[in-house]
């Protein structure tokens, strides 16, 4: 009985060795593409080729392009908020310094979620400062620190611009591109900016929003 089991083990080992040797190249390494051809991936291709969610490739690309433009503006606003957090001055310095800390952390979460949405629709998110600045509609703030009220007003105006942009994209994503998921997503982003703009105005002088 024991000799029969040994014979079976030797036979299976020989079979496995034959399979492996057929899939080895000249380097002696196993060719995994031959073993699992369905698992081979072209690193230069977009994920959209593998999606079958009812949205056409053309529409998913348009959605991704629009989201990447939002991503660029989000990054510019994040950098500006961080700049003001570092350099803000005035009688309300301490309170506004802490307040802007919360705001730029919220923007960081928004940035991450927008980039993830681009990946979910099957395309690649923008990831360089040059690309962000080339496609953003918001302007950077450069130069020395200014008084607190001016900084807060500038941030609130930038949030307003993003609110207008995302409000337009809600209908575009849903009606033009047949992507209800992205329409729902961008609605949530718009609401976040509405809240942040409200909090900015509530933290400054009454004339700030006028």
Average pLDDT, the chain: 81
- List, for residues 30-43, the tens digit of each pLDDT value: 443 343 434 433 33
Identify the pLDDT of residue 42.
37
Token digits for 26?
């000249």
- Residue-range domains of the chain with CATH: 2-39 (no CATH), 56-209 (1.20.1260.10)
Whose CA is closest to 202, among 161, 165, 155?
Answer: 155
Model confidence pLDDT, tens digit, residues 15-61: 445 444 444 444 444 443 343 434 433 333 455 445 677 789 999 99
Instruction: State CA 184 to chain mean position distance.
Output: 16
| pLDDT at 88 exceeding the cut of 90 | no
User: In this structure, what DSSP letter does residue 25 have?
Assistant: -
Question: Once rounded to an integer, what is the mean pLDDT over residues 167-193?
Answer: 97
> pLDDT per residue over 115-166, tens digit each?
999 999 999 999 999 999 999 999 998 876 677 888 999 999 999 999 999 9
Close Cβ partners of 111 (under 8 Å, ≥ 6 residues apart): 71, 74, 75, 78
Whether residue 14 has pLDDT greater than 90:
no
Q: Sorting pLDDT into bands at 50, 70 and 90, what band is 92? A: confident
pLDDT tens-digit series, residues 108-129: 999 999 999 999 999 999 999 9
């Amino acid at each position: 009985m024991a000799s029969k089991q040994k014979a079976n083990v030797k036979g299976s080992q020989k079979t496995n060795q034959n399979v492996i040797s057929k899939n080895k190249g000249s380097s002696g390494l196993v060719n995994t593409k031959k073993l699992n051809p369905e698992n081979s991936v072209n690193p230069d291709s977009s994920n959209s080729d593998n999606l079958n969610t009812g949205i056409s490739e053309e529409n998913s690309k348009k959605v991704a392009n629009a989201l990447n433009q939002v991503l660029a503006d989000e990054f510019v606003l994040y950098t500006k908020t961080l700049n003001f957090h570092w350099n803000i001055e005035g009688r309300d310095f301490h309170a506004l310094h802490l307040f802007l800390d919360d705001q730029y952390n919220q923007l960081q979460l928004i940035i991450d979620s927008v980039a993830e949405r681009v990946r979910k629709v099957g395309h690649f998110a923008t990831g360089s400062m040059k690309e962000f600045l080339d496609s953003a509609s918001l302007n950077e703030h450069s130069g020395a620190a200014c008084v607190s009220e001016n900084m807060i007003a500038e941030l609130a105006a930038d949030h307003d611009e993003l609110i207008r942009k995302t409000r337009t994209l809600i209908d575009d994503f849903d009606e033009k591109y047949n992507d209800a998921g992205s329409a729902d997503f961008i609605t949530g982003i718009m609401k976040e900016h509405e809240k942040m703009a409200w909090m900015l105005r509530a933290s400054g002088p009454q004339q700030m929003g006028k």
